[in-house]
Amino acid sequence: MMFLAQDEEQEAVAEMTRELGLEVLSPVSRDAEAGAAVPATTWKAVVETGLTAPVSEELGGGGVPGVVTYMTAVENLSYGDAAITLAAVWSGAPSLLLSLHGTPEQQAGLLEASKNLDTRGSVALYEGFGRGASELETTITEEGDTVRVVGRKVAVPFSGQAESIIVIGVAPSTRALRAVIVPRTADGVTVGVRDKSLALDAADLASVEFDVVVPRANLLGAEGLQKSVERLRLAVASAQTGMAQRAIEYAAEYASGRIAFGKPIASFQGISFPLAEAFSRTEQARLEVLDAASLLENSDDIARLSAVVSSAVSYASENASETTRHAVQVLGGHGFIREYPVEQWYRTAAFLSTLDFDPRASSFHPVY
Amino acid sequence: MSTTSFELSPELKRYGQELREWSAATLRPYAREADTKKKVPDNWQEILHTSPVPLGREDTDTDRLTPFADGYWATQMSYYENLNYGDVWALGTPGRGIGQLVVDAMGSPEQIKKWYDPVMAGQMETGFALTEPHFGSDTSQVATTAVQDGDAWVINGSKMYCTNGARSDYITVFANADKSLGAKGIACFVVPRGTPGFSIAKENEDKLGIRSWQTSELLFENCRVPIENRLGWNSSGPVDEGPKVSGQGGALTALSNNRPNMSGIAVGLAQAAIDETSRLLKGQQAGFTPQRWAAVQNDLEAMNEALQRARRINYKAAFVLDNGTPNRYSPAIAKSFAPQTCDRIIRRCMQLLGPEGTSKELLLEKWYRDVKIMDIFEGSSQVQRIIVARELVGRLAG
């Protein structure tokens, strides 16, 4: 039966994370970027929600939120600041994966670790080249008591800080998805230049090359693993959507107060129609994320799940890029200077759009 | 044989090619540092001096850029596109600015001799102060005032986004000299550097892109200039011999003629992004599935085609100016097409390269930030659409 309203839990999470995003994340946006690190008090507030680094109830944690609830949290936190939100989500991703797929040995101490505010987690997922989760070329090969990991990952978070990295790859014989814990400083782990980028500096992203052997005990369970990976991919679409929504509302408020040619610029269709289109697209993106999230909870058709996630990520990123662009246009000269937040959203959306980009999912077209 | 041709003369073509190759090889290596330090290299003169073709520099009189047979504006278009193929920083070097264009449009012959000719001869730099914090596109809202007091004008107000504002020899400042006339009271004043009451509130604004271009916030507090510093005036008042252009009109004409050149910059940057991306992708083909590689090739082709379309309208806009048949829609179409399209191209290039495409090891992320302003200053694409619409429905559009 169709049901598109939020349940009580989702409603409560939405309200709490929206407030946290606006009141705690948003004010430190610039600081997090300038310092290439999320301020400690902000980090604490986000981690303590238990939503970004969840631990299952069996392990004594607050439980792993359902996918819809999780996306609701990511979207609303990102309404405040997408970069801080994703830094927390990516740092918490190992906690999510280990809660759902870890062996008892791997899970030991997870609860304590998840509460440690000084450590950062890392999952190496993306490879570029438009590869979806089922097409990864990083291989994870069992060799007796050990496992060999060979491949190259891009945008690996906390590449200079995480104690270990959970690498996502495939078993070469079956191409089934696998995940394995690799110590970041092990021989055969080569972290590339950790330079600053267009945005997201607080997540300490870098490319990492792996040609490393680790104990077999480092392998995570494979059951349901791909669904969790798809969930992590989808989180970026939620972040883009929350940020786009904020940009629209910010630009709309500015347009309502800014006077040109005798009236608020919001009354010009050249301003209001693109805003209306952005609002409409963002609603579409939200629904697409919601659809994908609900399928991740309700369906086991992996091929279909992967396709809907890819589509949602592509659309949400394209929308956020164009929507934040129009927000800059609405603010005009003010949109271009750092005293206003829109230029940061514009950079962040473009950066995020490169993470999980598939050239087949869209094509270039000029303005007209 | 048709007389119609989009082919540039062999001379201008060669000029553009040499300029492009030089800017990529010589200017580009300084791009990252210019962005980080928010200033052009200290040895910029030395660097520019290595250009194999004239740049029309005004800091030396041995670098005249004589227009090619294609025309002055066509030559300018080639200059803007190809100079910026290397990077945008060279345009942010101390230079002539656009204030002299206002003098040319609004000044008396005497004023043109004093403030236009020396600029074109390379002896002066100009600043342009129109935008204020509360307005951009709607230039009728100039709130800076100029009040006549004996043989002087007293200017009060604040300006932002003034190119070269902190270093030029004079600023053309738009101020309202008679508020009872509304926008018709807007006039333009030449305010020399060092005039008491003229101060620099911020030397270089903290911007998304073009960070090495000096744009300043300026403050005018009881700033007194001689009565003849009002464009179109001499020491006894308004002169009859000068062109009858209003203050607002003068500002808009100066901007209008320069607009297609901004599109030229966007095209130069986007072409650089495509070429750089194509080069990098060549070594990465093995990573793509054949279907994705085909999609990548389609994208690159579509982006190059879009740039060709941008060039056609850019050069058309130059052509009508060069041929004495100016219209308002050609520059407006040029200015509304290339900047937005080039944003998309550079973003697409970063996407094709994946997150590493946004790294500061490369320049795509910088060009993505730089190019954005082309759709904002000198008339946003929203304003350009109004100009185009007026071609169809007159003043009903707005």
Q: What is the pLDDT of residues B14-34, one digit of tens each?
A: 999 999 999 999 999 999 999
- Residue of B132, B206, B248, B348 to mutate, interface with A, max A Cβ within 10 Å: B348
Residue B239 tokens, joined: 């002169």
Q: What single letter denotes the amino acid at residue B358? A: T
Instruction: State yes or no: is B58 an active-site residue.
Output: no
Is A367 close to B398, i.e. CB distance below 8 A? no
Question: For residue B394, is pLDDT > 80?
Answer: yes
Is A338 close to B309, i.e. CB distance below 8 A? no
Partners of B375 on chain A (C-beta within 8 Å) are 329
**For chain A, counts of helices (H) and of strands (E):** 11, 9
Q: For every one of its 368 residues, what pLDDT tens digit does chain A have, with 9 covering 90 and above? A: 899 999 999 999 999 999 999 999 999 999 999 999 999 999 999 999 999 999 999 999 999 999 999 999 999 999 999 999 999 999 999 999 999 999 999 999 999 998 899 999 999 999 999 998 889 999 999 999 999 999 999 999 999 999 999 999 999 999 999 999 999 999 999 999 887 889 999 999 999 999 999 999 999 999 999 999 999 999 999 999 999 999 999 999 999 999 998 999 999 999 999 999 999 999 999 999 999 999 999 999 999 999 999 999 999 999 999 999 999 999 999 999 999 999 999 999 999 999 999 999 999 999 98
Partners of A130 on chain B (C-beta within 8 Å) are 288-289, 292
Nearest-neighbour CA in chain B from A109: distance (Å): 33
Partners of B347 on chain A (C-beta within 8 Å) are 321, 350, 353
Nearest-neighbour CA in chain A from B122: distance (Å): 30
Is A261 close to B299, i.e. CB distance below 8 A? no
pLDDT at B94: 83
- Residue of B141, B204, B356 to mutate, interface with A, max A Cβ within 10 Å: B356
pLDDT at B266: 98
Q: How far apart are the first and last CA of chain B?
A: 43
Question: Smallest Cβ distance to B365: which of A127, A198, A338?
Answer: A198
Partners of A261 on chain B (C-beta within 8 Å) are 138, 140, 398
**CA B111 – CA B335 distance, rounded (Å):** 30
Nearest to B167 by CA among B39, B295, B46: B39
Residue A190 tokens, joined: 């080569």
Is B372 close to A336, i.e. CB distance below 8 A? yes
HSE (side-chain half, CA atoms, 13 Å) at B180: 1
Question: Smallest Cβ distance to B365: which of A135, A197, A365?
Answer: A197
Q: Contact at 8 Å (CB) between A271 and A351?
A: no
Nearest-neighbour CA in chain A from B227: distance (Å): 30
Give the count of beta carbons closer than 10 Å to the beta carbon of residue A187: 9
pLDDT at A67: 98
User: Which neighbouring-strand residues pair with A153?
Assistant: A208
Distance of CA A282 to the CA centre of its chain: 17
pLDDT at B246: 65
Q: H or E segment at A148? A: strand A146-156
**CA A52 – CA A76 distance, rounded (Å):** 12
**CA B380 – CA B205 distance, rounded (Å):** 19
Of B81, B132, B365, B378, catalytic? B378
Q: What are phi and psi of B318, to 5 degrees?
A: -70, -40
Nearest-neighbour CA in chain B from A41: distance (Å): 28
Whole-number average pLDDT of chain B: 93
Partners of A126 on chain B (C-beta within 8 Å) are 354-355
**For chain B, counts of helices (H) and of strands (E):** 12, 9
pLDDT at A105: 97
Question: Which residues make Cβ contacts (< 8 Å) with residue B295, sequence separation at least 6?
Answer: A359, A360, A363
Nearest to A67 by CA among A309, A257, A264: A309
Strands B170-176, B215-226: pairing is: unpaired
State pLDDT tens for residues B202-256: 999 999 999 999 999 999 999 999 999 999 999 989 987 655 566 666 666 666 7
Strands A123-124, A164-170: pairing is: parallel
Name the closest residue on chain B to residue A349, using Cα atoms. Answer: B347
Question: Which residues make Cβ contacts (< 8 Å) with residue B46, sequence separation at least 6?
Answer: none
Nearest to A87 by CA among A130, A12, A35: A35
Is A270 close to B386, i.e. CB distance below 8 A? yes
Is B377 close to A321, i.e. CB distance below 8 A? no
Please tell me whether the interface predicted TM-score (ipTM) of this complex is above 0.95: yes
Question: Smallest Cβ distance to B376: which of A137, A333, A347?
Answer: A333
Burial of A140 (0-12, 13-18, 19+ CB in 10 A): buried
Is B372 close to A359, i.e. CB distance below 8 A? no
Is B299 close to A363, i.e. CB distance below 8 A? yes
Among the residues of B31-91, which ranges form H helices? 31-37, 44-49, 72-86
Nearest-neighbour CA in chain B from A367: distance (Å): 5
State pLDDT tens for residues B247-293: 666 666 666 788 999 999 999 999 999 999 999 999 999 999 999 99
**CA A198 – CA B362 distance, rounded (Å):** 11
Give the count of beta carbons closer than 10 Å to the beta carbon of residue B91: 18
pLDDT at B379: 87
Angle at B227 between CA B221 and CA B233, to 5 degrees: 130
- Which residues of A, range 240-269, sit inside 8 Å of B by Cβ? 259-261, 268
Distance of CA A94 to the CA centre of its chain: 13
Partners of A359 on chain B (C-beta within 8 Å) are 288, 292, 295-296, 299, 351-352
Nearest-neighbour CA in chain B from A203: distance (Å): 13
Question: Smallest Cβ distance to A364: which of B302, B350, B385?
Answer: B302
Is A354 close to B341, i.e. CB distance below 8 A? no
Q: Residue for token digits 């995003």? A: A21
**CA A149 – CA A181 distance, rounded (Å):** 10
User: Which neighbouring-strand residues pair with B129?
Assistant: B173
Is B356 close to A154, i.e. CB distance below 8 A? yes
pLDDT at B59: 64
Q: Where are the beta strands (DSSP E) in A172-281?
A: 177-183, 189-191, 206-215, 259-260, 263-264
Is B372 close to A328, i.e. CB distance below 8 A? yes
Own/partner pairs, B57-61, CB within 8 angstroms, 24+ separation: B57/B95, B57/B122, B58/B95, B58/B96, B58/B119, B58/B120, B58/B121, B58/B122, B58/B123, B58/B124, B58/B125, B59/B94, B59/B95, B59/B122, B60/B122, B61/B121, B61/B122
Is B209 close to A346, i.e. CB distance below 8 A? no
Question: Which residues make Cβ contacts (< 8 Å) with residue B339, sequence separation at least 6?
Answer: B262, B263, B266, B371, B372, B374, B375, B381
**CA B38 – CA B40 distance, rounded (Å):** 7
HSE (side-chain half, CA atoms, 13 Å) at A273: 4
Is B382 close to A268, i.e. CB distance below 8 A? yes
pLDDT at A226: 95
Residue A286 tokens, joined: 């939200």
**CA A203 – CA A43 distance, rounded (Å):** 12
HSE (side-chain half, CA atoms, 13 Å) at A364: 28
- When pLDDT is averaged across residues B365-372 and rounded to a whole number, the result is 98
CB pairs under 8 A between A and B: 161
Q: Contact at 8 Å (CB) between B205 and A337?
A: yes
Name the closest residue on chain A to residue B215, using Cα atoms. Answer: A337
Name the closest residue on chain A to residue B372, using Cα atoms. Answer: A336
pLDDT at B101: 86
pLDDT at B161: 92
- Residue of B134, B162, B208 to mutate, interface with A, max A Cβ within 10 Å: B208
pLDDT at A28: 98
**CA A349 – CA B352 distance, rounded (Å):** 15
Q: Contact at 8 Å (CB) between B380 and B138?
A: no
Partners of B303 on chain A (C-beta within 8 Å) are 364
State pLDDT tens for residues A74-125: 999 999 999 999 999 999 999 999 999 999 999 999 999 988 999 999 999 9
Cα dist from B88 to A79, B30, B41, B212, B283, whole Å: 33, 10, 13, 9, 27
Partners of B398 on chain A (C-beta within 8 Å) are 261, 268
A196 touches chain B (CB under 8 A): yes
State pLDDT tens for residues B97-124: 889 989 988 999 999 999 999 988 878 9
> Which DSSP state fits B149?
E
Residue A136 tokens, joined: 């990864």
**CA A183 – CA A95 distance, rounded (Å):** 16
Residue B116 tokens, joined: 């236009």
Question: Smallest Cβ distance to A332: which of B355, B365, B376?
Answer: B376
Name the closest residue on chain B to residue A343, using Cα atoms. Answer: B208
Q: What single letter denotes the amino acid at residue B129? A: A
**CA A48 – CA A71 distance, rounded (Å):** 17
Cα dist from A50 to A142, A298, B135, whole Å: 34, 23, 46
Question: Smallest Cβ distance to B382: which of A270, A353, A355?
Answer: A270
Is A350 close to B347, i.e. CB distance below 8 A? yes
Q: Is B218 left (phi over 0), alpha (psi -120 to 50) or beta?
A: beta
Question: Smallest Cβ distance to B137: which of A332, A355, A360?
Answer: A332
Is B359 close to A195, i.e. CB distance below 8 A? yes
**CA B181 – CA A73 distance, rounded (Å):** 55
Is B380 close to A261, i.e. CB distance below 8 A? no
Partners of A129 on chain B (C-beta within 8 Å) are 284, 287-289, 292, 354
